[in-house]
Structure 1
C-alpha cells in the first residue's frame, strides 16, 4: 500500500514539513513519485520514518541518521558499523538519562523542601491562630473576672455605706 505524505504524517505524528526535509536530506531513498511529483511512501518507508523519528528523539543528528541509512544500503556487510553507531547512540542516551535523573532528584528535593516550608507555614498559622484565640480567650476571662471583681467590690462598698 502507498501512502501520501499527509497520510504518513497522520500515521507517524511526524509533520509533513519534517518528512519532506528528511527526504531531501536522503533519509528515505526508496520513496516513489508519481507523474505530478507527489511522494508515495511504502510500508517499508513508514518504518524508515519511524526509525528516523526515534533516532532524532534520542538526539542523533540528521547527518548521523543519513550515515546510518547509507550503511544500510551497503547490506549485511555494514552490520558491524551500524551496530557501532547504535551502541554509541546508546551511550549518549544513557549519559543524557543519567543527567536527567540527577536533575530530577534535585527538582524533587526542591519540591519536597517547598512543600515542607508551606506545610510549616500552614502549621504556624494554625498554631498562631490557636495561640491568638487562647490569648483572646484568657483576656476575655481576665476582663470578665475584673468586671466581676469590680461589681463585687461595688456591692461590698454599697453594703458598708448602708
Structure 2
C-alpha cells in the first residue's frame, strides 16, 4: 500500500504519517527501489494504534515513552500500565469537565425563558 491509501484507510494525513515515522511512533516503513514507502498491514496497525492513543489525549512524549518501554520487553508491562492509567485519569478529568459543561448547557436550554432571558437583560450592550 502507498501512503495515500494508508492515509485514506486510517484517517491520518500523509504528513502526519511521515512525522510519526520520523519521530519513532511507528517503525520505519520499507521502501521500494524508487524510495517510495510500501506499507504493510502491520504498519497500518501501528499507525492506527498511534492515532487511537493520540485521540485518547496521550501526548507525543508519553506515547514515545510508552513505545520505548514496549520495545524493552515484557518486564516493562507494569510501567506501561501505569502510563495508560495516568492517561486514563487525564482523560476522565476531561470527560467530567465536558459532562459538567453539557449539563449546564442543557439546563440553560431547558430553562431559557426563566433563566437565560432575565440574565441576558442584565448584560451590558455591545457598542
Same fold (TM over 0.5): yes
Correspondent of 2:111 among 108, 113, 127: 113
Q: 1:127 aligns to what?
A: none
Render the CA deviation track for 1:27-85: whole Å, top value 9, x for unaligned: 11242122222222221211111111111112111111111111111121221111111
Q: List gaps (5 residues or longer) in structure 2.
A: 115-127
Native 8 Å contact 2:70 2:76 kept in 1: yes
Residues 30-39 or 5-14, more deviating: 30-39
Which structure: larger Rg? 1
Q: Which has the higher contact order (CA 8 A, sep 6+)?
A: 2
Native 8 Å contact 2:26 2:50 kept in 1: no
Deviation at 1:104, TM superposition (A): 0.6
Q: TM-score, normalised by structure 2?
A: 0.82
Structure 2 distance, partners of 1:4, 1:67, is: 28
Deviation at 1:97, TM superposition (A): 0.5
- Partner-residue secondary structure (3-state), 1:96: helix
Structure 2 distance, partners of 1:21, 1:40, is: 16
**Is 2:96 the counterpart of 1:98?**
yes
Render the CA deviation track for 1:90-135: whole Å, top value 9, x for unaligned: 1111111011100111111111122x46xxxxxxxxxxxxxxxxxx
Q: Which runs of 4+ in 1 moved over 4 A?
A: none
Aligned length: 114
- Partner-residue secondary structure (3-state), 1:59: coil
Q: 1:80 aligns to what?
A: 78
- Partner-residue secondary structure (3-state), 1:50: helix
Structure 2 distance, partners of 1:51, 1:100, is: 25
**Is 2:46 the counterpart of 1:48?**
yes
Structure 1 distance, partners of 2:89, 2:22, is: 29
